Amino acid sequence: MAAENSGGKRRRGGGFRKASEEARAILSPVFRKRGFAQTDIITQWPQIVGPTMADQCRPERLMWPRDEANADGATLHMVVAHGWATEVQHLEPVIVERVNRFFGWRAVTRLKLRQANIEPWRRKETPKRRPLTEAERAELEQLVAGVSDPRLKESLRQLGETIFTTESR
């Protein structure tokens, strides 16, 4: 399907799109089925509750009350790692407050927990660094010897040291 750009000309194809946009388009119907109008609560979970808590619990479903006359707010069903249910119960007011702050209104009033094995959120591990050898140190000094600005020289030296000592090199 061709689209029009600002000049009124037609262009072919959609161009490149971010993978996150495509994933959101694919996953939105699945999340909507589970009561999540937005995929953001799932994708932003570590930012909402913090990385430690995100490793131990996940939102599973958002259930809205059927009786709207007595409706307070939704119940957030969560999967909790074994051994963390008591901790999450004690932190329920904090978690509910953080989720509501994320939504911008009092959407959630309570949590319902289910214990299960869950995988921790994947974090980028920093590569292991080894000490710089004397030969590498001499090579690095030779590389930055021609730089006259002391701040730039030090920055380049630190960059070179990181490159030399990173295990994946």
pLDDT for the residue numbered 116: 93
Distances (CA, A) of 22 to 25, 29, 34: 5, 13, 19
Query: What CATH class has 21-115?
Result: alpha beta
Q: What's the CA gap between 99 and 142, in Å, rounded? A: 54
Q: Is residue 11's pLDDT more than 60?
A: no
Q: Is residue 24's pLDDT more than 90?
A: no
123: left (phi over 0), alpha (psi -120 to 50) or beta: beta
3-state DSSP call for residue 92? Answer: helix
Render pLDDT for 73-94 as a digit per residue (tens, 0 to 9). Answer: 889 999 999 999 999 999 999 9
Tokens of 4: 């029009």
Percent of the chain at pLDDT exceeding 90? 40
* CB 127 within 8 Å of CB 167: yes
Q: What's the CA gap between 51 and 119, in Å, rounded? A: 13
Rounded mean pLDDT of the chain?
A: 80
71: how many CB neighbours lie within 10 A of its CB? Answer: 11
| Mean pLDDT of the 51-71 span | 83
Q: What's the CA gap between 65 and 27, in Å, rounded? A: 24
DSSP state of 68: G
Q: What b-and-e string marks burial along 126-152, b requiring 16 or more CB atoms within 10 Å of the CB?
A: eeeeeebeeebeeebeeeeeeeeeeee
Show me where the domains of the chain are located: 21-115, 124-169
pLDDT for the residue numbered 112: 95
pLDDT for the residue numbered 73: 85
Rounded to 10 deg, the angle between the 134-144 and 150-165 helix axes is 150
pLDDT for the residue numbered 7: 56
Q: Is residue 105's pLDDT more than 80?
A: yes
116: how many CB neighbours lie within 10 A of its CB? Answer: 11
Q: Is residue 58's pLDDT more than 50?
A: yes
Q: Residue 161: how many CA atoms within 13 Å on its side-chain side?
A: 11
